Amino acid sequence: MSEDVRGWRMALVPDTLINPPDRVHAALPDVLGVLGASGYGVLQLPPVGKHGLLLAVIADQVAEYARHGYAVVAIGVRGESGDGLHWRRLTSLLRHRGVAPPPRQFVRVGSDPAAEARQLAAFLSGYDLPVEEQRRWRG
């Protein structure tokens, strides 16, 4: 494992935050910028209604991350269908793999983007694995 701190932090991010539609682009904080500044890598979720077997593959990836000491979070979008997270299906798939669903944080469309970015940054900085798990996996 490299010294890149993103190697131990992963965020599930809906397609809406990576490829925002024009109608919400200006109303969203720079989530990818906040994640990068907070040391998180990104695992993109598919658009709503277009998940098929892809969610099963993503659940497999999340399970591996979780089992190997990664701090995994999910970032949803309030105001978008299902928050963009496919939460019911994804949590079912994760539980089937013996993994607890990751903690979630939501950004709101239409709220002050700077305030939303600060709240997201505070959530990300306040979350990590317990110290014992960090020592176990990260040395």
Pair 120, 111: CB distance under 8 Å: no
Q: Is 85 inside any structural domain?
A: yes
The three-state DSSP-derived secondary structure of 59-83 is: HHHHHHHHHCCCEEEEEEEECCHHH
Whether residue 134 is contained in a domain is answered as no
Q: Record the pTM.
A: 0.87
Q: Which pLDDT band, with edges at 50, 70 and 90, does 134 fall under?
A: confident
**pLDDT at res. 131:** 75
Question: For the chain, what is the domain count?
Answer: 1
Do the domain assignments include residue 36?
Answer: yes
User: What's the mean pLDDT in 85-111?
Assistant: 92
Q: Give me the CATH number covering residue 86.
A: 3.40.50
Q: Report pLDDT digits (tens) over 23-65.
A: 776 778 899 999 999 999 999 999 877 776 899 999 999 999 9
Mean of pLDDT over the chain: 86
Range of the domain at 98: 5-129
- Would 136 be classed as within a structural domain? no
pLDDT (mean) for 113-131:
89
In a domain, 21, yes or no: yes
User: Kind and range of the H or E element at 89?
Assistant: helix 87-96
| Residue 139 lies inside a defined structural domain of this protein | no
User: Residue 97 domain-assigned?
Assistant: yes
**Three-state DSSP state, 100:** coil
